Structure 1
Amino acid sequence: MARILHGGAIAAAARVYGGDPCDWLDLSTGINPNPPHIPGIPTRVWNRLPDADLIDRARAAARAWYLRGVEADSDEAGLPLAVPGTQALIQILPRLAPAGRPIAVLSPTYGEYGLCFRRAGFAVEAIADLAELRPEHGLVIVVNPNNPTGRLHDAGELRDLARRLEGQGARLHVDEAFGDSRPEATLAGFAPKTRNVTVSRSFGKFFGLAGVRLGFVFARPDTLEFVEAELGPWAVSGPALHLAAELMAGDGGAVAEAIEQRSAALSAVLDDAGLGRVGGTDLFQTVIHENASALFEHLARSHILVRKFDYAADWLRIGLAPDEEGDRRLAKALASFEG
């Protein structure tokens, strides 16, 4: 099966459209362009395999961060499992699904879900609404908030769905990669107490550190033990765990405020350009334009990379510029488009 093209391919874009990759404005990824100050990593963390204390410290910090303001039991069953990026969990999810039953993916959404399940031999059905679910479905995938539309489902609605699926012998996976700014919508506190639910969270998007490849999974202990066994020992690096333990133990207020400001600036640029909106999150906006392909090319010739979609030819996803200079650069390029 063909690989899915994701954002972030600046070097490849520069080979086609010219310029030094370092001079491009990358708006294609939906990642915070302004990571916080990175704390120092002690030499011992680089020198040793990750030990239990470091792993537990990162898990506790992640639990506190993702469950802030959410009622949850305080026992260890609620601690998430650290994984080397949430993509690693997606590769394992087919082994958690009931065999021989179709998978429902609330769509359009992140394409790796359908790809991984098809590779594992499952029939995958794209559904536009949860009302389309049937008792035959063995696992349901909901990205919440959704990428790329920003659609958000209420936590109570998803808890009710999970209970209904449990009665049908089915599972629910909720991907909350873009959920840091919407803590009220999380199922992270519900999953560890529920037999058929997994929740994945991304460390790198909000904190702007996607390169460390770190995510967390909330589920019942037996499910986490299975995932951990599938990943093998020391799946997450010591430096990644150290960064999580340090950064997620803080309040994150400055990071959230900076993202909010950058998000407002992006919205202002898009409004001034008269671009219609499909939806979005605090880290990206998806716009609709009848000549989206030509607009993509125009921006690329200006050395600005955005995300286009093979399944929606009139959509473009545009992420946050790091500063006002980036806003002006995007605004100028949009204003000069004659499509």
Structure 2
Amino acid sequence: MLEHGGNLQQAAQQYGRPLADWLDISTGINPQHYPIPALEPSLFQRLPPVTESLHAAARAYYGCQHVLACAGSQAALQLLPTLRPPCRVAMPRTMYQEHAHAWQRTGHEIQFFEQTPDSRILQQSDVLLVCNPNNPTGHLYATDKLLDWHAQLATRGGWLVVDEAFMDTTPQHSLASHTGQAGLWVLRSLGKFFGLAGLRVGFLLGEPTALAQVESRLGPWSVTGPSQYIASLALADHAWQQHMRAELPAQSAQLSQLLNQHGLTPTGGTDLFQYVPHPQSLRLHQVLAKHGVWTRYFAAPAALRFGLASTQDWDRLDDALTLAINSLSD
């Protein structure tokens, strides 16, 4: 299993602090989750084929014509490499690691680049995969550039796969409306923006024949009935979405300002996290953990990712950062 944010059980055991006594900002998940409605018991009693209402809500929300619900975008991420024979796949070196893991374990050859593929990598690759915006660096790829890369790949049967897990606050940059073309895949998730990671609801956007192939491999009942019900409500709640699209950028800017005040300058981020390279990131991560603040540590390059804290936790984060920075001079 790869290392991920949100591994709070591990932190609690390692540092001997009860789960309830942690401020977990390691995931980039919206701390103000979509409100969970009362649920009818029948949702738990029936087998849950994916309903047309859920797909209709997703098509409307993402602005696409073809979509397939799955048990989180992780399920689609792991399945896509099985649809091609072993081939050459290019992706950024610093990115959500599950992508490389999924393609490598199914026999594909991975070539890494730092941020943007050059012409040689594009010409040599059968699949190009990026997170947009990138996790954890926050780098945002221009839509025109992505579509140009897709056009080059598609001429020889190649794919462009774009993971848009953190795109919801900036839908104008999404490739969702362009899906339906052969060789263009987009992954979306309800885990980050909606703060509903525990529902395990994601969507794969793509060309309909290819989506049918994925659906046949996923099998029946891939998304639970309660999850489908809540997801449909969240996707259709435009007022809540608009509120969050105003609220989250302000909170992320506040987080960036707080980090800067402590000499921790983010080099990138999204409306749900800030990314801070630092030569002593491991030390900072450990000291923050000793004070009950759990961050996402990256060893190469050395960096920390800070997710958003709830309003009542800002002072606690401020105090912990003071202690962590002071520890560097001890």
Q: Show the counterpart of 1:103.
A: 89
Distance 2:251 2:172 in 1: 22
Q: Given that residues 83 and 217 in structure 1 are in contact (C-alpha distance below 8 angstroms), is that contact kept between their aligned partners in structure 2?
A: yes
**Partner of 1:66 in structure 2?**
62
Structure 1 match to 2:255: 266
What one-letter code is carried by the residue in structure 1 that aligns with 2:93? S
For residues 288-327 of structure 1, what are the structure 2 equivalents within 5 Å?
Answer: 288-313=277-302, 315-323=303-311, 325-327=312-314
1:122 aligned residue: 108
Which secondary structure state, in structure 2, belongs to the residue aligned with residue 277 of structure 1?
coil
1:135 and 1:168 in contact (8 A); partners too: no
Residue 150 of structure 1: how far off its partner (Å): 0.5
Does residue 1:143 correspond to 2:138, yes or no? no
Structure 1 residue 142: Cα displacement: 1.0
> CA separation in 2, counterparts of 1:328 and 1:200?
35
CA distance in 1: counterparts of 2:76 and 2:99, whole angstroms? 10
User: Cα offset for 1:182?
Assistant: 1.2
Aligned-pair identity (%): 38
Q: Is 1:7–2:1 an aligned residue pair?
A: no
5+ long unaligned stretches in structure 1 = 73-77
Task: Check the 8 A contact 1:262/1:322 in 2, yes or no.
Answer: no
TM-score, normalising length from structure 1? Answer: 0.91
1:32-43 matches, cutoff 5 A:
32-43=30-41
| Contact 1:60-1:79 within 8 A present in 2 as well | no
Partners in 1 of 2:218 and 2:82 — Cα distance?
Answer: 12
Which residue identity does 2:142 align to in structure 1? D
Q: Distance in 2 between matches of 1:321 and 1:178?
A: 17
Aligned position for 1:253: 242
Contact 2:92 2:130 in 1 (8 A): yes
SS at match of 1:62: helix
Paired amino acid for 2:246:
E
* Alpha-carbon distance in 1 for matches of 2:72, 2:285: 28
Q: Does 1:216 align with 2:230?
A: no
**2:27 is matched by which residue type in structure 1?**
T
Aligned equivalent of 1:237, options 198, 221, 224: 224
Aligned partner (choices 91, 94, 98) of residue 112 of structure 1: 98
CA deviation digits over 1:116-175, x for unaligned, max 9? 111111111111212252323111101100000111111121111111111122111000
Q: Secondary structure at the residue paired with 1:328?
A: helix
The equivalent residue for 1:49 is 47
Asked if structure 2 preserves the Cα contact closer than 8 Å seen for 1:106 and 1:140, the reply is no
Query: Aligned partners of 2:254 and 2:298: how far apart in 1?
Result: 24
Cα contact 1:105–1:140 (8 A) shared by 2? yes
Mapping 1:70-219, distance limit 5 Å: 78-97=65-84, 99-128=85-114, 129-131=116-118, 132-192=120-180, 194-219=181-206
Native 8 Å contact 1:101 1:136 kept in 2: no
Post-superposition shift, 1:59? 1.1
**Given residue 163 of structure 2, which amino acid in structure 1 is its aligned partner?**
D
Amino acid at match of 1:8: G
What letter corresponds to residue 109 of structure 2 in structure 1?
A
Give runs of ≥4 in structure 1 deviating > 4 Å: none
Amino acid at match of 2:307: G
Alpha-carbon distance in 1 for matches of 2:62, 2:143: 14
Q: Secondary structure at the match of 2:122?
A: coil
Shift of 1:316: 0.3
Q: How many residues of Structure 1 are paired with residues of Structure 2 in the alignment? A: 322
Structure-1 separation of matches of 2:57 and 2:5: 29
Normalised to the residue count of structure 2, the TM-score between the two structures is 0.94
Contact 2:5/2:295 (8 A) holds in 1: yes
Instruction: Tell me what 1:328 maps to.
Output: 315
Distance 1:51 1:275 in 2: 48
Cα deviation code 1:174-208 (max 9, x no counterpart):
0000000111111111111x111110001111111
Tell me if structure 1 keeps the 8 A contact 2:8–2:294. yes
1:327 and 1:265 map into 2 onto residues whose CA distance is: 10
Q: Which residue number corresponds to residue 27 of structure 2?
A: 29
What is the CA distance between 1:278 and its match in structure 2?
2.4
CA contact (8 A) 2:122 2:153 kept: no
Deviations 1:200-251 (A, max 9, x none): 0011111111001110111011111111111101111111111111111111
SS of the aligned residue for 1:152 comes to coil
